Chain A
Amino acid sequence: MSQLPDFTFCYDHAACGLVITDIDGTIRRANATFAKWLGFQQSELVDAKKIQELFTVGGRFFHHTHWAPLLQMQGSVSEVQIDLRSRDDKIIPMLVNASRISHDGTIIDQMAFFIVDDRKKFEQELVAARKKLEASFDSLRETQNQLQRNQNMLNLAMHSAKMAGWSFNVESERVEWNNELQSLLGFDEDSGWLSKESFYNLLHPEDKDSFRQQLRHAIKSQTNYTLECRLKNSQEHWVEMEISGYAVITQHGETQSIYGICMDVSERKARLRELAALNTKLSSSDHRKNEFLATLSHELRNPLAPIRNVLEIMRIKENDATVWKKSRILIDRHVSHMSRLIEDLMDISRISHNRINLRKQAIDILPALHCAVDETKPLIDAQSHQLSINEAKAPIYVNADSTRIVQIFSNLLTNAAKYTPAGGTIDITVSQNREQVTVSVEDSGIGIPAEELENIFTMFSQLSPALERAQGGLGIGLALVHHLVTLHEGEIEVSSEGHNKGCKFTVKLPVIRRVGALDANSLQDEKSKAIKLPQRRILVIEDNQDTAQSLAELLEYAGHITCTAFDGTSGIMQAKEFKPEVILSDIGLPDISGYEVAETVRKQLAHANIYLIAITGWGQKKDKQLAKASGFNRHITKPVDFAELKQILAELPDD
């Protein structure tokens, strides 16, 4: 057995670096292994270097901040990994254990170093792996946060859009949904309605079959699908849902489940229904309007033929006074008829544009009624109808525009006469209570079918297409009557037993019980007042030459002296030369407006004291104000009613 090496040899050539230092780090012993590892001679280390001088900068910090304090305080450090610097400046990672001991009264530190190249590499890898892990964990967390944010956004969006997620598992036949569907339907989270049955229980009974069918189709065809159904919410109301989505297909090509978005489309559906209803209404109204236009052209053309004929007769029989008289009556009748038609039309238009002005005052309704009877009497007589009036003797006062009251009843009476076969009866009944007066007009005519009663007061509601009817008319009369009654805070009703059973219109108007000084005969007076006509110099400014000249002619017949101008500028010139007392001026003139004419006349002929009358198409308040502001004294609407004009001229102050 060979001799074992002694301890000195063992120390020197140990399998680790062994070093002994003073407590300040000065190396007192270093074995050959340690010196060799670092490329030093032992003599270059011992008593020549401090151990920390072999460390890297970081190691030296560590020595001062950790190593030395720890050795001092706890006597040892173990498994410290530290980099050492070799003689040729290579970094050698080492692991060291160190302990502080007292030897013969001297305190020394002894330490053992191991090269840990591989371990260092391994550790570095570990550190790198950990860093990577941390980074991916961070990124995972960020992704999760992002996902959560997206989920929140999605939930918010779905909630705002009244949408919900929905899925159906083909194998389990299980229907699942997210909380949004629950909240859409107003159910609690724990209402436990997640089974297939509970879903089908929510389905509208009429939708169950089609829902299953559509679902089967989606599963079978493996395509995107859209289906509609109604679901019962917690309030037991039906919510209309549109479900759209896609089928999820397994790798074997089978449909595994179908996913989708449910959308509450109740509002949309309701809107669509409203829209459809509106559309129907519109097209029906459009239809009625077309009917009306056809009727209107027919009605306007009708009187022209006899007028034209009569004119031809008058040309032939130029000197036959009898023929001329007959002709005049015929033309007058047809022109009156046309004027009435047009007047009705304009009234309807005024009412629908809110431009009608009622001159309401306390009047007795009975003279107005009689006035209407007088107006329609020729028509009633021509049809040989029997007219009866059952009325009170005492006056019945209402706050009304007498012209409009006459219009209401003359319309009703005209209708009664027209829609009653010859030789029928028309009965007028007037009754009164404390609140209102009731006037009914009942005929024995063709009657109104029940289904038409509802729309009878609607514009263009005439029963059958105009061209098929014998009686003519525009079908706006009742609409106008209804409007006028309403404007008088009254009511109008219609009743009919049906075809050929006649019909009855009942007008109710509020009465006024106390009337102060009242001229009950004003209505009559208006028509019958004898008009004395002083001669006036009148200038007519109107761009329609026929209108201008015929009006001037009529005024001449009435004893006035006239002059005409066809535009504003020559009108002003004539005003200076002709020196009129009255100027009748149209507003829409080709060069300057009638307003400007008035302003100029007022400015340039300030002392002439001319009476200015404006003639406008629409009796709008605004027009009247404008007319007044620009210097007109009065305002009348087209077409000029000659009687009205005569009245105005008669009432002019003498100076």
Chain B
Amino acid sequence: MSIQSRNNVNVVGSGKETIVFAHGFGCDQNMWQYLVPSYKDNFRVILFDLVGTGKSDLSQYDFDKYDSLHGYADDLIEIIDEYAEGPVIFVGHSVSATIGMLAAVKSPEKFRCQIMVGPSPSYINEGDYIGGFSRTDIEELCDMIDSNYLGWASNMAPAIMGAPEQPELGEELKNSFCRTDPAIAKHFARVTFLSDHRDAVAKCATPSLILQCSDDFIAPRSVGEYMQKTMPDADMVIIENVGHCPHLSAPHASIDAIDSFLYQRL
């Protein structure tokens, strides 16, 4: 088993510095399609799919290994070791922001800095901490995935009616988008939304940029603020955006924020 086939690793562009993009819960590395063109001319860009998603090798989905985000963090370190020379700039969305944080705590020397898009170390409210959800909410979410797995995990085909012009999307891409094995999707959702890695937040000294959407149901501002306050060296930029994917719905604002951070920190 190669790391390449396990994680469907793609390397594009070239440059002195390496940027690793890691997608969040839901889809796959295609989520970075609006950002990659801006970086591939000056950076070596590494893209990959978390095991269990996209075109990763589903047979490598070990329910024990991936029973916590540490399993993914170990994979990330292996990818960096295999594909990068020197410490990397890591861009992680949502759950991958947490995965990156865990990897950076384990092997800080492998990370120059990180951009955390919509991060949340824990989704459940506890005491003063406002994760955004009650435990009941998260249980309901998991139940819904469980009982509605046809809708969640199977083919999210584009509507056949009046399809708008989207020339950059190839046929193949459309069919594999956000699709995965239902059992894996269910397990991954539980691991993602029930995880609590707040203890790692203060330990992560890697220079970090938190990209926080102004209206994000999944990662509310209170979480972004908590992270910025708790991490030893973190900036936060609020992007005017409804939703959890500023790199999709507000790519320009996202790029500006990242560039500005990199300009300051590199």
Contact = CB atoms under 8 A, between A and B. Distances in A.
A62 interface: yes
Given A58-B140, A75-B166, A78-B160, A66 B152 contact: yes
B218 A57 contact: no
Nearest to A134: B183
Given A25-B242, A66-B152, A73 B141 contact: no
B151 A60 contact: no
Contacts of A56: 140, 144
B157 interface: yes
A74 B177 contact: yes
Contacts of B216: 64
B147 A70 contact: no
Contacts of A100: 164
Contact of B248 (A57, A69, A75, A98): A69
Nearest to A80: B151
Contact of A73 (B147, B148, B152, B177): B177
Nearest to A67: B156
Interface residues of A, number: 40
Contacts of A493: none
A73 B30 contact: yes
Interface stretch (B11-19, B21-29, B76-84): B21-29
Interface in B206-228: 215-218
A100 B145 CA distance: 25
Given A69-B27, A99-B164, A77 B159 contact: yes
Interface in B144-199: 144-145, 147-152, 156-166, 169, 173-174, 177-178, 193
A82 B156 CA distance: 13
Nearest to B218: A64
Contacts of A50: 242
B164 A73 contact: no
Interface residues of B, number: 49
Given A75-B158, A78-B160, A69 B133 contact: no
A23 B249 contact: yes
Interface in A48-73: 50, 52, 56-66, 68-70, 72-73
B169 A74 contact: yes
Contacts of A74: 158, 166, 169, 173-174, 177
Interface in A1-59: 23-25, 50, 52, 56-59
A524 interface: no
A50 B216 CA distance: 13
A52 B244 CA distance: 13
A475 B148 CA distance: 102
A432 interface: no
Given A64-B244, A68-B248, A81 B148 contact: yes
A93 to B, nearest CB: 9
Contact of B156 (A75, A77, A101): A77
Given A58-B141, A58-B145, A61-B141, A77 B158 contact: yes
Contacts of A99: 159, 161-164
B31 interface: yes
Contacts of A57: 133, 137, 140-141, 144
Contacts of A52: 217
Interface string B74-95: 0000000000000000000010
A90 to B, nearest CB: 15
A521 interface: no
B27 A101 contact: no
Contacts of B178: 66, 69-70
B245 interface: yes
A82 B151 contact: yes
Select the residue from A62, A63, A82 with max chain B CB neighbours within 10 A: A62
A73 B248 contact: yes
A52 B218 CA distance: 12
B38 interface: no
Contact of A83 (B25, B144, B150): B144
Interface of B: 24-27, 30-31, 33, 94, 133, 137, 140-141, 143-145, 147-152, 156-166, 169, 173-174, 177-178, 193, 215-218, 241-245, 248-249
The list of the 6 closest CB pairs from A to B, nearest first, reads A58-B144, A65-B26, A76-B159, A24-B242, A78-B159, A64-B244
Given A57-B140, A73-B166, A82-B151, 8 more contacts: A24-B243, A58-B148, A73-B31, A74-B158, A76-B164, A81-B148, A83-B144, A127-B147
